[in-house]
Chain A
Amino acid sequence: MKQAILVTLFFLGFVSFTYAQKITGKVTDKSTGETVIAATVYVKGNTSTGTVTDMDGNFSLNLSQGAKVLVISYMGMQTQEVPIGNKTWFEIQLVPDSRQIEEVMVTAMGIKREKKALGYAVQELKSDELMKHKDPNVVNSLGGKIAGVNVTNSGGAPGSSSSIIIRGGTSLARDNQPLFVIDGVPIDNSTGQGDNSSFDGSTNSSTTNSNRAMDINPEDIESISVLKGPAAAALYGLRAAAGAVIITTKKGQEGQVAVNFSSRYSTNWVNRLPKQQDLYKQGSYYKSTSLITQTMTSWGDAFAAGETVNNNMDDFFQTASGFDNNVSVSGGTKTGNFFLSASNLDQTGVVPTTDFSKTTFRFNGEQRYGIFTFGSNVSYAESNTTKTLTGSGLWGSSGNGYMEGVTLWPRSDYMKDYLNEDGTKKRMFPNQDLVDDFDNPYWLINYNPQTDKTQRWIASIYAGVKVTDWMDVNYRLGYDSYLTKYQSVTYPGSGVKEAWQKGMLSQSDRSYNYINSNLMVSLHKVFFNDWDASLLLGHSTDDTKLTSNSRRSEQFVIPGRVTDINNATQENQYFSQSNQNKRLIGVYGDFRLAYKSMAFFSMTGRNDWSSTLPQQNRSFFYPSFSGSFVFTEVLPENTILSYGKVRASVAEVGKDASVYQTNTYLFGPETTIGGGFRNSWTGGNSDLKPESTISKEYGAEVRFFNNRLGFDFAYYDNTSKNQIVQPRVSNATGYILKSVNAGEISNKGVELTINATPVQTKKFKWDVMLNMSHNKGYVDGLPGSIPILYVTDVQVGNAKAASFDKGDFMGLSGQEWATDEAGNLILDWKTGYPTTDGLQTKQVGNREASLIGGLNNSLTYKNLNLSFLLDFRLGGDIYNGTEYLMTSYGMSELTENRGDKTTFTGVALNPETKEYEAVTREVSMNEEYYRTQYLWNSHNFIEEVNWLRLRSVSLSYSLPKEFLTKLKYIKQASLNVSGSNLILLTNYSGMDPEVSAAGAGVTGSGSTGIDYCGVPSTAGFTFGVNLTF
């Protein structure tokens, strides 16, 4: 019965009383002296006795007996409590609450702690910052705003993934993105279905996919805390070896029921495209004396005067648009609160036919009863994406990606003319086998759609009990579950391998199910007045199941029925299933000791048991220690230095393996004669050990001039040992790949954040925050004499994303022109052109930037706010695979100089003397040169890139309260216009230099800095309105 009452209270908990005494007062803003309109004033413990201030900031209230404290609150201000006593007139000055935001941070396990008590770096973003320029992908909202956080958007497709790396990667071969935790539940932020290439050709680079943190509605977020290092995230254990992003969603506020509605319209366009030549037509003279016309290359004759030069690429892209609507209702009493929201987003892409839509719902509720607290957070999200084939299209299909077509389509041909009168595909090469045909991008986007649909629940229920004033026990059961249905259609008549020429349909259902149980006991006691000790003990279990079911039909019986999986004979139907189950048990503790508000010490330990490791190695323990000292506490108070703190931490964290690496599995039943089985080419390892990361961090924080200028500096040194890698190995091991523990990565870096309020008057305020960071990822001790570790899926042109032994983690491997020991080019004696040894394993670049950062500005004048975020990057190489492709096909602007002469100086082997001689040769930059010798040198496509970008700018106007009070019901109203990517200054010659060819789903050093035929990034505007009732 009591439970029933509780549940009733939980949803409806508002209770009324009656009143007697009358009081009046006025509320003003302490910083500006202006009156505060529509501030909420109520009696503490009795939210039904309340009112809002009028246009002059005045209020009057009738009090019931026993009213002792008045609570005055207003959004953006610190809530104030005033004792009533016998007073009847109240002069109240509210203080902006920015200072308060800075002081308390959400740390691991959702524990709120004073920032000064932290011995490690944590940075936090609040909802208003997120909403200034709302991005549907919460990961993008972190970009440029937090030192040490590197966000890379994979391109301009709606719903496309972004990767986030904090302080460099800690794993050579595994996912390096941080753990995402929402309201205490670790959630999945994986991207796409991973690699399903052997089944249907889909890889991370064959289309765009979403990273699943996108299922969170940004408007639901109250705050995001970024725990950068192992020390900060130690309690989360191995899952947070790469840091953690802690998201807290909104709660209803005590004393007010608020309804919030916002609506936005956005428009986006492509910000940069590659540069094409416009002088030459389709054709080739390669090893031929006459013009070859049956080719995709544009090495043909020059356009004659009067001939049409088509603008195929520019004409292809469209202006995208989107609608975004949100509504939320929230409220609360002394004992309970709730938050309910719904949102809908509909976007189209710059590539015609592509779109993304997302609908979310959330309910957060909490009720206290005596010493107990119960609550739940439940959210549902559904998203749909229509995508297109990027990169080289489906792996092993002999087909092509849309952008390969867009960039290469000969300008002598009108690309838009892609269908015959009877509706069939107009073929580029009607006389060649269909497999050798090159598909028109319009055909691909209209007839080979890639789609996905995700339905996701994230939920938690929790209960807490305050056993005594010094002991709390909390339990939370978290649940994260989604089903993504992927579909890939190859329409009959596409230029693909024979088996798919009569059509192919592949459908994959990827379901993720995760249950997390977490029990925490917190003890807290103050000793001898000045000593504050607390101890947290916890236990958690994680059970993660991932099931993927794929089915494929080939060679449709009824050609037009391309989304009907039954539309194929039985021998043309295929299926495959994979199950992954991973379990983890953790026990952890956190002991903290504080002396006054001056010195702080914290020690944590965690032991994990992971199912992915062999039994003898599955248990592992790791500790952390951190401390901070607020030295201004011992200094005399002064007007210059307001605050100063130093901090240090050292921590260790383990990381387990991926599933199923301890055994060797099989290939088979084989299709060779007699069938049977053989070992897979990936060798398991029955003695795998966990990876381990040791992290050291030192930092300082100082603020001057009454906190108007602040600096936060951090230096860290992280070393991750015993890497679990699956390197390519000597075939004589019996395997191509083998799971081993070997190698280490070290990341050393510095972070600096500067906060300042240069101007603050009654009417005008300017806040500025500059952050920048430098990280250097270094790899040592790769297994055996293996000098190089490749990233699967990121091999385009003649370069690959790769990590090098005793070298760069985010390296680039490629091919070079041959040189002798002195570094002279070795030229061919006969032709004079450079030569190559053909090896593509040379280190040709490093994709890691030397400096990244952002400058965030907020200027407020009365009701008007202008905010803008500049982000910048210095250094770091990009491999322009798109340019490689366009060069070889004679479409790059560079090839307009075809036929010109160039000189090479080097050495050449004199066949007479059999000696190398110094030579200088003049050669022609003809078709053959560009298609062979020029391509051999990866450096021709690598650029060290800098950029400065106006990432976002937003202008918002809050309607004056005078005006609002005339309109009953509306408490707040604001209009907002924002722009993204409006300015991009860069030395990069390709598209947008923020690229990752295979999206965020790639592990290891990732695909950042590899540019290959993706969806171009966009720039755009958003117009919005926000109303609170």
Chain B
Amino acid sequence: MNMKKIYYIPVLIMTLLSFPSCNDWLDVNDNPDSANSTVPTAEQRLPSLIAQFADGYESAGTRVGLLCQQLSCVYAVNNNWNWTRWNSTASSVAWPWQAWYVNAGVNVDPLIAAAEEQGAFHYIGAAKVIKAMGFATLADLYGMLPYKQAFDESTYTPEFDDCEYIYSQIIPLLDEAITYLEMDQTSKLAPALSEGDILNGGNVDNWIRLAYGLKARYLNHLSKQTSYDPAAVLAALAKAPQTNAQSSILQYVDESPATTTSQASLQYVNTGTTVRLTKLYIDYLKNTYPGVPAAAQGIIDPRIDLLVPSYQKADGTYVRSEGVDMSSDLPSKGPSAYTYNVAKGTYVTSNTSRSGDTIYVQLRKLTATDGRVVSTGTWYTDRGGKGLLLTNAEMKFIEAEVKFRQNDKAAALTAYKAGIRAHMEIMSVPAAAIDSYLSGPAVAQTTGDLTMSLIMIQKYIALSYSPEIFSDLRRMNFCCDASGNYNEATGVYKGFKRPSHVYTIAYPSETNWPRRFAVPSYEVNYNIDMVQAADADAAEATYISKPIWWDK
């Protein structure tokens, strides 16, 4: 009967469908609406790797700024305020960690894999430089972190490695990077570095210099260690950036409406309207800090209006911001946030009983709709500002420090002045003003006047909001003497005192100072066994005043 044949058709279809072509029919598990991680080429990955790395690096810098008394904030019990009292919490340290591991670092290997297929050696080199810088930055801040098992597909609870181990990997990694960067890209498939290089515009030499500069930076971090090798630092410095043009400076380009900040200067994004400058920072620029050489007293740095915002009064005149005195009791109650009320033409604080707090000006540039300049902003928080990832200025200060230690005061003096000049030139301070300041009494003019304090305070300014500040403060032991107590006479960062609202649970004694970042929340919450295996003290409140490897 015919019907039977009709019945066989579906059976036949099913049989054909399912068995011979079973696997083909089932191979539909790659998302058609999104490329997977094997797809992008090296030049499609490098811009994002740099941008995300810079986000983490500069955001660590903002936190360091708050911790190291360059920055303060309006009063509110939140992460920023906790930073100013040296209480780095699991949540407040989470971003630099996540920005590195999740947003940047995980892309290094896929980038290198793609670059190997393309023969794009320069991309391999650049990726290794970023990898070294990413891990070393975190190692300096956190003291321990997964390295060996980071990005390891086979585990979701990676083991932690100590700073010392990471340092042992970083220097060879930078050497590998240099090897790749020095190779010629002969493959026709290889994209020019310029196609993806948003940091140095494809200038391979800058990348090589960045790698040497980083070697100098990290080798110099070992200044407290017996293994410290000044000659190695100087050898690296010789191949590091010698000019501002050779520096690795990320140019932010944001000019878009306020609804997106993804291309804005990180300090613009991070400081918002609530961050303020400290009195110490402004004192350094005004040479009014305690223990300033008498000759320098009160001489104002030409960078001051680039670094310190001003606000405009009703009469049109501008008033430069005051700095928050971290050793006064102000941080426990103020300053209050404020807004400018266009209708009334006045500044209004949100806490009306603290109406005087408008003298502490926000860092973001803001002009009200009636034309009143609420803040002139700062050079670092400008839209279209720059991210100073590694500069000639920093190299000069490292040189000054090393030479000063070697007692080659003349070379130290030269490098010290070159460092100040380099930073001023990056900021486009007029040459006359630079010359005048550098030849004046605010700057040491003789080897006899030069002190480590003067060098490091100038480096503190030149590396504003850089994570390096925290490394320097620890290496130089803040403003302490050998006993760990504040000592204005012998201390380096003169005027750097414990904040009045210091988090005493973590810093019970006067000799306790911030030594590392806390363990980030994602590791506390989701990898606590490995955290505790790496350091049993990690759960203690005082963990953050425990020195990391090179700080001991």
Flag if B30 contacts A660 (CB, 8 Å).
yes
Within 8 A of B (CB), among A536-595: 539, 541, 577-579, 581-583, 585
A663 touches B263 (CB 8 A): no
Are A678's CB and B48's CB within 8 A?
A: yes
Q: Do the beta carbons of B26 and A517 come within 8 Å of each other?
A: no
Is B33 close to A, CB under 8 A? yes
State whether the Cβ of B37 lies closer than 8 Å to any Cβ in chain A. yes
Whether a CB of chain A sits under 8 angstroms from the CB of B186 is: no
Kindly state whether residue A2 has any CB partner on chain B within 8 Å.
Answer: yes
In the complex, what distance in Å separates the CA atom of A663 from the CA atom of B33? Answer: 13
- Whether A730 contacts B526 by the Cβ 8 Å rule is yes
Q: Across the two chains, which residue of chain A brings its CB closest to B152? A: A733
Q: Is the CB of B10 within 8 A of A473?
A: no
Asked if A499 meets B259 with Cβ closer than 8 Å, knowing A287-B351, A681-B102, the reply is yes
Partner of B37, one of A581, A666, A738, A785: A666
> How far is B303's CA from A322's CA once the two chains are assembled, in angstroms?
73
A752 smallest CB distance to B (angstroms) = 41
Decide if A664 touches B151 in the complex (CB within 8 Å). no
Question: What 1/0 mask marks residues of chain B from 499 to 517 whose CB sits below 8 Å from any chain A CB?
Answer: 0000010001000000000
In the bound complex, residues from chain A placing their C-beta under 8 Å from that of B10 are 475, 477, 517, 519
Closest to B251 in A: A673
Q: 8 Å CB contacts to A: which residues of B144-160?
A: 145-146, 149-152, 155-158
In the complex, A914 Cα to B542 Cα: how many Å?
A: 14
Whether the pair A498, B37 counts as a contact (CB closer than 8 A) is: no
- Contact (Cβ within 8 A) A730 B196: no
Tell me if B252 counts as interface (CB < 8 A to partner A).
yes
Contact yes or no, B156 A740, CB < 8 A? yes
In whole Å, how far is A982's beta carbon from the nearest beta carbon of chain B?
A: 46
Flag if A678 contacts B52 (CB, 8 Å): yes
CA distance A677 to B104 in the complex (A): 11
Q: A473 to B4, alpha carbons, bound, how many Å?
A: 11
Interchain CB contact (< 8 A) of B151 among A541, A678, A733, A911 = A733
How distant is the Cα of A784 from the Cα of B7 in the complex, in angstroms? 54
In the complex, what distance in Å separates the CA atom of A431 from the CA atom of B340? 12
Given contacts A666-B40, A734-B105, are A519 and B14 in contact (CB under 8 A)? yes
Q: Closest CB-CB distance, B41 to chain A, in whole Å?
A: 9
Q: Determine the distance from Cα of A473 to Cα of B6 in the docked complex, in whole angstroms.
A: 13
Decide if B2 is an interface residue (CB 8 Å cutoff).
Answer: yes
Q: How far is the CB of A886 from chain B (nearest CB, A)?
A: 23
B262 touches A674 (CB 8 A): no
Residues in B neighbouring A611, C-beta threshold 8 A: 26-29
The segment from B15-23, B285-293, B357-365, B466-474 found at the interface with A is B15-23
How close is A479's CB to chain B, nearest CB, in angstroms? 14
- Interface mask (B245-260 → A, CB under 8 Å = 1, otherwise 0): 0000010110000111
In the complex formed, the residue of B with least CB distance to A782 is: B526
A730 touches B527 (CB 8 A): yes
Bound CA–CA A851/B262 (angstroms): 52
Q: A663 touching B508 by the CB < 8 A rule?
A: no
User: Which A residues lie within 8 Å of B198 (CB)?
Assistant: 673-674
Nearest CB on B from A910, distance (A): 12
A578, A666, A674: the one within 8 Å of B39 (CB): A666
- Chain A residue numbers with a CB within 8 Å of B26 are 583, 585, 609-611, 618
Across the interface, which residues of A come within 8 angstroms of B101, CB to CB?
731-734
Question: Given the complex, which residues of A lie within 8 Å of B27, measured CB to CB?
Answer: 611, 615
A 828-866 binary contact with B (CB < 8 Å = 1; else 0): 000000000010010000000000000000000000000
Inter-subunit contact A786/B151 (CB<8 Å): no
B55: chain A residues at CB < 8 Å are 672
- Separation in Å of the A820 CB from the closest CB of chain B? 14
B525 touches A (CB below 8 Å) = yes
Bound CA–CA A498/B35 (angstroms) = 31
Q: Which of B3, B146, B260 is A372 in contact with, Cβ under 8 Å?
A: B3
B165 located at the interface, meaning its Cβ lies under 8 Å from any Cβ of chain A in the complex: no
Q: Is B520's beta carbon under 8 Å from chain A?
A: yes
CA distance A678 to B149 in the complex (A): 20
**A288: Cβ under 8 A from any B Cβ:** yes
Query: Which chain A residues in 668-691 approach chain B with CB under 8 Å?
Result: 668, 670-681, 684
Q: Is there contact, CB below 8 Å, between A677 and B146?
A: no
Contact A675 B150 (CB under 8 A): no
Q: In the assembly, what is the distance between CA of A465 and CA of B8, in Å?
A: 11
Tell me which residues across on chain A come within 8 A of B262, comparing CB atoms.
670-672
Q: In the docked arrangement, what's the CA distance between A674 and B107, Å?
A: 16
Complex interface residues of chain B between 89 and 103 (CB less than 8 A to chain A): 89, 91, 97-98, 101-103
For B34, list chain A residues within 8 Å (CB). Answer: 665-666, 680
Min distance, Cβ A735 to any Cβ of chain B, angstroms: 6
Cα–Cα distance between A571 and B484 once the two chains are bound (Å):
59
Residues of B within 8 A of A1008 (CB): none
* Contact between chains at B98 and A736 (CB < 8 Å): yes
- Evaluate whether A734 and B106 lie within 8 angstroms (CB atoms) in the complex, with A498-B258, A784-B157 already known: yes
* Max chain A C-beta neighbours (<10 A), residue from B4, B14, B259, B262: B14
> Within the complex, which residue of A581, A678, A732, A738 is in contact with B28, where a contact is CB–CB below 8 Å?
A581
Across the interface, B40 reaches (CB within 8 A) one of A497, A677, A740, namely A677
Residue interface mask A709-741, B partner, CB < 8 A = 1: 000000000000000000111111111101010
Q: How far is the CA of A473 from the CA of B508 in the complex (A)?
A: 82
How many chain B residues have a CB neighbour from A under 8 Å?
85
Residues of A within 8 A of B343 (CB): 431
In contact, A2 and B2 (Cβ under 8 angstroms): yes
User: A-facing mask of B150-189, CB < 8 A → 1, else 0?
Assistant: 1110011110000000000000000000000000000000
Answer yes or no: A794 CB below 8 A from chain B CBs.
Answer: no
Q: Establish whether residues A674 and B51, one from each chain, have CB atoms under 8 Å apart when the complex forms.
A: yes
Neighbouring B residues of A784 by C-beta, 8 Å: 155-157, 526-527, 529
Is A913 in contact with chain B by the CB < 8 A criterion? Answer: no
Contact yes or no, B47 A663, CB < 8 A:
no
| Given known contacts A583-B26, A679-B37, A738-B156, A729 and B11 CB-to-CB distance under 8 angstroms | no
Q: A-facing mask of B109-130, CB < 8 A → 1, else 0?
A: 0100000000000000000000
Is residue A98 contacting chain B, with contact meaning CB distance below 8 A? no
- Asked if A289 lies at the interface with its beta carbon under 8 angstroms from chain B, I say yes
Task: Give Cα A539 to B11, complex, Å.
Answer: 10
Indicate if B32 sits at the interface (CB-CB under 8 A).
Answer: yes
Contact of A665 with B102 at beta-carbon distance under 8 Å, contacts A465-B7, A740-B156 already known: no
Docked pose: A475 CA to B527 CA in angstroms? 52
Let me know if B528 is at the binding interface, CB within 8 A.
yes
Interface centre among B36, B50, B250, B528 (most CB of A within 10 A): B36
CA distance A609 to B196 in the complex (A): 43
With A618-B26, A659-B29, A730-B530 as given contacts, are A517 and B49 in contact (CB-CB < 8 Å)? Answer: no
* B-contact 0/1 string along A902-946, CB 8 Å cutoff: 000000000100100000000000000000000000000000000
Question: B17–A541 contact, CB under 8 A?
Answer: yes
Q: Which residues of A contact B352 (CB under 8 A)?
A: 288-290
Question: Inside 8 A of B46's CB, which chain A residues have their CB?
Answer: 674, 676
Are B530 and A678 in contact (CB-based, < 8 A)?
A: no
Cβ proximity bits A779-802 to B, threshold 8 Å, 1 near / 0 not: 000011111100000000000000
Contacts of B151 in A (CB 8 A): 732-734
Which A-chain residue is minimally distant from B253 (CB atoms)? A673
- Tell me whether B523 and A731 are in contact (CB under 8 A): yes
Partner of A539 from the list B2, B4, B14 (CB cut-off 8 Å) is B14
Give B residues with C-beta under 8 Å from A. Answer: 2-4, 7, 10-11, 14, 17-18, 22-23, 25-37, 39-40, 43-52, 55, 89, 91, 97-98, 101-107, 110, 145-146, 149-152, 155-158, 196, 198, 250, 252-253, 258-260, 262-263, 341, 343, 351-353, 504, 508, 520, 522-523, 525-530
The 18 listed contacts between A and B (C-beta, < 8 Å) are A475-B7, A539-B18, A583-B26, A660-B31, A663-B29, A663-B30, A666-B36, A670-B47, A673-B198, A676-B45, A676-B46, A684-B36, A729-B527, A732-B158, A733-B150, A735-B102, A738-B156, A786-B526
A-B pairs, top 4 by smallest CB distance, nearest first, are: A674-B47, A734-B106, A784-B157, A672-B51
5 new A-B contacts, CB < 8 A, other than A539-B18, A670-B262, A679-B106, are A519-B11, A618-B26, A675-B47, A679-B37, A838-B91
